[in-house]
Amino acid sequence: MEPNYEKYTVDQLNDVMRVIDREQYPDRYQKIVDLLSNHSEYNASSKSSENIIAIKNPDAKRMYSPLQVYIGSFLGGPIFTVFSLRKNFLAMTDHERALKTLVLGAFLCFVFLVLIPFIPESFPNLILPILYSLLGKFLVERFQLNKAEINASSEYRFESNWKVFALGILLLLVFLAITFTFLIALDYSGLITL
């Protein structure tokens, strides 16, 4: 039995829209979209409120929010920072900045990798992850879309938090593998001793 969405408030319709499985219930989803589009309270408040989510296109492009970039970068290292910034630029169809992000990000990751052996042991371990995580968050807020803008847009939607977590862990393992390989190569060549 289908719920009687006509009796739902705007807030209730927004809540259902956030959780409904659009693939399993496309007719219900479309009904909610139509009701929200025709609802005068929704149309009057949607322009001024950050709490109401815009009607999302099912084909909306996924983007990382500033907080997702911060957390993912902290978990996944500088590779996640570059990956997420580039993906957001591609979603925004800004291919020039996406390419610059990839080139500059790869260079900075390489510089970071080269500097790791020379960081003193007394240097606090959390300083560098916090710095590149904050840098990633700042760049998203400055050159891309913040949370409210993604929320209000029908063209974009948030990337899954589970994907941020899983990709962060995966890229952390990749970065650690690259780092250990590099350190072993330096040790083997005699440039440093482990």
Looking at the chain, the whole-number percentage of residues with pLDDT higher than 90 is 33
For residue 99, pLDDT beyond 50:
yes
What is the pTM for the complete model shown?
A: 0.67
Segments forming the whole domain that contains residue 15: 5-45
Give a yes or no: residue 52 inside a domain.
no
Q: Do residues 111 and 25 share a domain?
A: no
Give a yes or no: residue 54 inside a domain.
no
Q: Do residues 20 and 97 share a domain?
A: no
Give a yes or no: residue 19 inside a domain.
yes
Q: Do residues 35 and 69 share a domain?
A: no
Q: Do residues 15 and 78 share a domain?
A: no
How many folded domains does the chain comprise? 2
Report how far apart, in Å, the C-alpha atoms of 135 and of each of 59, 68, 89 are: 30, 13, 16
Among residues 34, 35, 46, the alpha carbon closest in space to that of 7 is found at: 35
Cα–Cα distance, 173 to 168 (Å, whole number): 9
What six digits make up the tokens of 138? 């700042």
Q: Do residues 127 and 183 share a domain?
A: yes
For residue 132, pLDDT beyond 80:
yes
